[in-house]
Chains A and B, each alone.
Chain A
Amino acid sequence: MIFVINENRPVAKEVFRMVLRAAIANEEVRLRPGQFVNIAVEGCYLRRPISVCDWDARTQTLTLLYKTVGTGTRALARCVPGTSLDLLTGLGNGYTPVEARRPALLGGGVGTPPLYFLAKELAGAGQKPVAVLGFNTKDEMFYHEEFATLCDVIVTTADGSYGQKGFVTDALPGLAYDALYVCGPEPMLQAVFAQARALPAGHAQFSFERRMGCGFGACMVCSCKTTAGYKRICKDGPILTKEEILWT
């Protein structure tokens, strides 16, 4: 599906926000929080998977936040407004919202974008989410204000240059949460996992990242062992519940 870039600019150190609009409106496109799109990037053979930060079906507007970490994302950052991009949309299982009064959304670095979309959906459903966003430093921080329009927000930085000093997991014990949605680097996922044992089944959901090939379940390069057998992170994930996770 072809999208046209409306906006593509930095929002923090090495983090860009890209806003795109479907070239031809397609009512059938359904995107859920935690899903991703796979973008064909000029000069790269494989597509680049980027999580969905926001999708407005009415205006057919897609928002992506991505960090420039390699050739693909650096090429994306050079795209000017008006550029058309070929996207595969609606990939991955996405988060499965559960009944909860106080869900906590824990994001680390560029793991925070899918939680914005989720916060919007949960708040819209009458829940009172709290977002805990962790960054290394103030200049890497983004989207505090945007999250604040949807829910309570706690920001942590590892060096204390913004918000609370420390990690996302340092803020967690002080919160009365009854569901957890997590996205961030794997050590963070592991640390949160250790604090999530008491939650009921399905109430702690973690987003995983692996090197992918196709992004839609065909090539099997991103398979992981889980308690429920082998799962493709791109198709059966990227969201796994704590009951499914096998740390290796």
Chain B
Amino acid sequence: MDLSVTLSGLKLQNPVIPASGCFGFGQEYLPYYDINMLGSFSFKGTTLAPRFGNELPRVAECAAGMLNSVGLQNPGIEKVIAEELPRLRAHFHQPLIANISGFSIEEYTACCKKMAACEQVGLVELNISCPNVHGGGLAFGADAHSAAAVTAACKKVCAKPLYVKLSPNVTDIAEIACACEAAGADGLSLINTLLGMRLDLKTRKPILANGMGGLSGPAVFPVALRMVWQTYQRVKIPIIGMGGVACARDVIEMMLAGAAAVQVGATNLVNPMVCKEIIEDLPGVMKELGILRLQEIVGAAH
């Protein structure tokens, strides 16, 4: 049984990838399992300068998911390269996905260049879809022109495959996907979180200090699946599918819709062992469904 998948020439031992923002820089998961079994992982969204992020509270809950408004807290790219990546080297020997974000095209390209130069980084994931920061992130991902502009600028300086992480908070995600592909993106990651809100009934105010936040968890899975499906029909480049994936069957479903690999986000936070469990469950589910090579089912639903 073959679980391996390929992303723009990069071979992964399996398609299971913890999503950015839900896995830090890997250290917190070391007590729970050997993270080297993962296909890859997309580390915490990194910006040029260190960021604290938004005020607290920055988490809320709903029936089948959660909202966060962290706002890209990270130690800054220099510290990530000088401290986090070397620390990870002892525990993780698979290609990493470097998730980067910025507030200007210059910041994106600077981060992109630095990350692509790191030997441990297999591909760069351009986050143009963070719903929790102003003037950055989603500001670039909300329309096709700005998405294409930042993609083209980063492609010029990126020595590794460049994937663009798209927002679901748009009218037509496939249109933006097409623009990124035309601008030179090697692949796409979708979806980022959906903008949502919860109110505190006693204070009559939003629970999140930032007002709104990004919804993730099983609640968003059908939305994510639909967007992967629609995008797959419009682009030729590989798609990393994510949004509410919680078990091996969800991984298969995402791949059938068109995902070449699958990221797991919020579920890591409620079950730190979930990626290990998914990887261990996959062969059994494949056997049951008559799948010999996982790679063969990508887009099979179309």
Contact = CB atoms under 8 A, between A and B. Distances in A.
B270 A216 contact: no
Contacts of B65: 45
A46 B270 contact: yes
- SS of B interface (majority): loop
Interface of A is mostly: loop
B52 A230 contact: yes
B202 to A, nearest CB: 11
A212 B66 CA distance: 11
B211 interface: no
Given A46-B66, A213-B269, A218 B57 contact: no
A87 interface: no
Nearest to A212: B59
B66 A213 contact: yes
B285 interface: no
A218 B66 contact: no
B56 A224 contact: yes
B33 interface: no
A5 B73 CA distance: 38
A220 B70 contact: yes
Interface string A194-212: 0000000000000000111
Contacts of B64: 45
Interface string B1-29: 00000000000000000000111100111
B63 A45 contact: yes
A47 interface: yes
A235 interface: yes
Interface string B118-156: 000000000000000000000000000000000000000
Interface string A209-248: 0111110111111111100001000010000000000000
A88 interface: yes
Interface residues of B, number: 31
Contact of B52 (A210, A216, A223): A223
Contact of A218 (B29, B63, B217): B29
Given A45-B217, A47-B270, A221 B29 contact: no
Contact of A222 (B52, B56, B60, B61): B56
A219 B29 CA distance: 12
B272 interface: yes
B28 A218 contact: yes
Contacts of B28: 214, 216-218, 235
A217 B59 contact: no
A40 interface: yes
A171 B232 CA distance: 68
B268 A45 contact: no
A213 B53 CA distance: 15
Nearest to A224: B56
A44 interface: yes
B59 A218 contact: no
A210 B57 contact: yes
Interface in B262-299: 268-272
A218 B57 CA distance: 16
B24 A217 contact: yes
A172 B269 CA distance: 40
Interface in B20-48: 21-24, 27-29, 44
Residue among A218, A225, A230 having the largest count of chain B Cβ atoms under 10 Å: A218
A211 B56 contact: yes
A225 B53 CA distance: 11
B58 interface: yes
Contact of B59 (A219, A224, A230): A219
Contacts of B21: 219-220
21 contacts: A45-B61, A45-B63, A46-B59, A46-B269, A88-B272, A210-B56, A210-B57, A211-B56, A211-B59, A213-B59, A213-B68, A213-B269, A214-B28, A217-B24, A218-B29, A219-B269, A220-B44, A222-B59, A224-B56, A225-B52, A235-B28
Interface of B: 21-24, 27-29, 44, 52-53, 56-66, 68, 70, 73, 207, 217, 268-272
Interface of A: 40, 44-47, 88, 210-214, 216-225, 230, 235
